[in-house]
Structure 1
Amino acid sequence: MDTISATRIQAADATVTVLSNALAVTDWSRRYFGPWWNATDVPAQGSCAGPAVRVDVDATAYADLARLVNDGRDHEDVVFAKARTRVARDGDDVIAVSPEEELAYRSSPATGRSAIVGCRAEPVALAAVRLARESIRGQLLRDGWAVLHASAVVRTSDRATVLTFGSKGAGKTTTALLLASRGWSLLANDRVFVRPSGDGIDVLPWPSAAALGLGLLDALGWFDLARERLRSGEHLHPTQNQQVTDALLAGRREPLWEEDGKRKREMKVQVFPDQFPAWFDVELATGGRAAVLLFPQVRPDAVPGLADGGRTLDEHDFMTGKTEDRYPDIFGLAHGVEGGGRADARATVADRLAALPHHSVILNHDTAAGADFLHKLMAD
């Protein structure tokens, strides 16, 4: 009989338990969520109350569920976590298969219970993290939280949180890490949960690997730290392109690019949450209170400073079902709530954030100058 391990994950009032016949799966969940959400090992017996994800490495079970998805029933082909996934129904359950990853899913939205079966431990562990996070997301959205496309850092003394907005490449992650280099704690690098509370806005992290370009890693003084860690046998997130790992090990610091449709996309280092404190001495925050909004622009030849005019928060800064490009709610875990939160929650968040200080800032490639400018701006 298989030995079952269990890890319980909690964010605010939302919980989910990951159970698996592979210890590597629950270890992975505890490592991934632990620095930002509360993830702890619990006894498997009696831990099935409430939302749960049962995750097993079982090639036979994978083949059986994949066959069920592909038995001629109506289906939809979508992309979930960058993998081609076929989604169908089995009664009230959602069933799905991702052949490239050899993963199959079953979700029971009415009970909050899900299952994943696969052939190899690593893809199964990655899928467990995604589905557990989707379960937490669904619970938080129903509880009045919304999702912003923003980075966030927190001042430890008073939990004041700086939210940074912008499209891909605008400098959200750069801004957050520059402030982190001056003692702020990193709460999120790409998106956050927010909810009205009292007369303010509470902020929670969205756990994920952080994507850092080789040039940014070098500019922050972290390139050699990461290289030595890799040389000693440690690993970055497995979704990282092998070319990036090879460049790090070889000491090549120039950006790497790949074709992404009609445009080029930078290939980046994928950093685990717990590697920020362990490798780079950047503390992580588990929550905060929105205080300031930043809108950065990166201009290589400019001097760091405030920009004239500038924009304010708009609807594109909220993650929605239409803008969620990586994790569409194919398993019904949000129970019909829009991907970025209820309309009333988003409206209240927008009104309260609009009343906070806004700064449009210009940064360049001089990280020390940018960090000094941002640190002074936040101190004023």
Structure 2
Amino acid sequence: MTAGQQTITIRSTTPTVTDWATTYFGPSWKTSPAPHTSIGHGPLVTALDGDHRAPATIAHTHHAVFAREPIGYTRHPDHTITAHTLTSPVLAFHYTPDNQHLQISSQEGPGPQATAARPGRPTPLATATTRFARELMRARLIKDGWVLLHASAAVLPGGHAVLALGDSGAGKTTTALTLAAAGAALLANDCCFARPNPTGSLDLLPWPAAATVGLGLLHALHLTDSARGHLQAGEPPHPTQDQRVTDALTTGRTSAVRSASGREMKAHIWPEQLTRWFGLPLATTGVTAGILLPHIVTTTSAPARMNDDRSTHITGDVFVTSSKERYPDLFGLTDGHHTGTPRARDEVLRNLNRLPRRAVDLTHDQAANTRLLTTLAPALATVQPTEQ
């Protein structure tokens, strides 16, 4: 797979691994079969199913939680790193930094119970392979000057990209999905890579990940019926989606599902489902022409509008931080710069504050949100960046 001129090769004799990697990464990054005699350029991930029996009782020196999975790992004097998951089925890892080779092995063979229990859902080995291949790609992109933003993004029909920035719950997903439903191509739901280009703007790349979407927004965008149809036809939900959300989608419920603490629980949608289920086009690259800073206003009488009273100055909060990370750098891939080097972050922040940007108040009136965003986003693309 290739993103931003960086390449990662995934090699496995288990079709469930390579098929899932193609399905997962294909909508965002370029994927293509590699010749059997070649492993391509850049890092290599080898996935072995049932071929390797590393002892599960190793006492590792470090422990972490990676994507909700407890993992023990050890950094050895020869700089190699070994690890294994602490739940069943056990997955063993061996990373050799000298040749950037990560081997992932499953202790549970590819029998019917392991691979066919939930048709359409990736096996643990396939899921681990995509997650760690993505981490290797992240490391390559960061070393090439990219940073990871907490942002959504949509590419307008004319080719210009609009970023939506803000804290969790500000309305980034609403902004991007509204524009995508109105004819733009969705580049990012929650995170994307950015790097300054010679024109003074920012190049963008997707960060492949499941989109989390509230039931109310799905309903407002007229996407609920499609999700219900696919689930009722037997497609499995995302493995981290709460069963109460799945039940609501299957029965057509459109009101918010909340946990005991009051937190809204959302639908988890894989990238390829955004197109296959909902018909939303996806973008693989973009050049930022403007920035929207949304805020969801819950007052029923408030209109969707531009809000010039809110500051549009962008701070370092826009970068993904360790507190927002579910993927600790177990193998030392990024030398501690998990979201981008300090120099790269400074350059991106400077460019963000040069680009035209507007604060907008969005409401639960989706028709009004659509009118505002589809008018404002193209207008931003005609404004020239400011000098700073």
Cα–Cα, structure 1 residues 305 and 267, in superposed 2: closer, same or farther, change >3 Å? same
CA deviation after TM superposition for structure 1 residue 324, in Å? 4.4
Aligned to 1:96: 83
After TM superposition, the structure 1 = structure 2 runs for residues 99-118 of structure 1, keeping only pairs within 5 Å, are: 99-101=86-88, 102-118=90-106
SS at match of 2:361: strand
Q: Assess if the C-alpha contact under 8 Å between 1:30 and 1:41 holds in 2.
A: no
Aligned to 2:231: 230
SS at match of 1:332: coil
Which of 279, 282, 285 pairs up with 1:281? 279
- Post-superposition CA distance 1:242-292 (Å, at most 9, x none): 322222112222222225xxx443222111111122221210001010111
SS at match of 2:283: coil
CA deviation after TM superposition for structure 1 residue 234, in Å? 2.6
| Consecutive unaligned residues in structure 2, runs of 5 or more | 109-113, 116-122, 380-388
Aligned letter for 1:270? Answer: H
CA deviation after TM superposition for structure 1 residue 104, in Å? 2.1
After TM superposition, the structure 1 = structure 2 runs for residues 71-220 of structure 1, keeping only pairs within 5 Å, are: 71=59, 75-90=61-76, 91-101=78-88, 102-118=90-106, 119=108, 120=114, 122-157=123-158, 159-199=159-199, 200-220=201-221
TM superposition score normalised by structure 1:
0.90
Give the ranges of 4+ consecutive aligned residues of structure 1 lying more than 6 Å apart after TM superposition.
none
Cα–Cα, structure 1 residues 366 and 26, in superposed 2: closer, same or farther, change >3 Å? same
Which of 55, 64, 76 pairs up with 2:54? 64
- Post-superposition CA distance 1:8-59 (Å, at most 9, x none): x10012111111231011000001111110011223332265311111222x
Q: Assess if the C-alpha contact under 8 Å between 2:8 and 2:41 holds in 1.
A: no
Aligned length: 360
Aligned letter for 1:247? Answer: A
For the aligned residues, what is the CA RMSD?
1.8
Alignment of 1:221 with 2:222, yes or no, is yes
Which of 1, 4, 13 pairs up with 2:5? 13
Q: Assess if the C-alpha contact under 8 Å between 2:151 and 2:191 holds in 1.
A: yes
| Consecutive unaligned residues in structure 1, runs of 5 or more | 1-8
SS at match of 1:131: helix
Q: Assess if the C-alpha contact under 8 Å between 1:210 and 1:272 holds in 2.
A: yes
Aligned to 1:4: none
CA–CA distance in structure 2, aligned partners of residues 316 and 43 of structure 1: 43
Aligned to 2:383: none
After TM superposition, the structure 1 = structure 2 runs for residues 315-354 of structure 1, keeping only pairs within 5 Å, are: 315-320=316-321, 322-334=322-334, 336-354=335-353
- Post-superposition CA distance 1:286-320 (Å, at most 9, x none): 10101111111111222100121234211111124
Aligned to 1:370: 369
Q: Assess if the C-alpha contact under 8 Å between 1:151 and 1:164 holds in 2.
A: yes
TM superposition score normalised by structure 2:
0.88
Q: Assess if the C-alpha contact under 8 Å between 1:324 and 1:339 holds in 2.
A: no
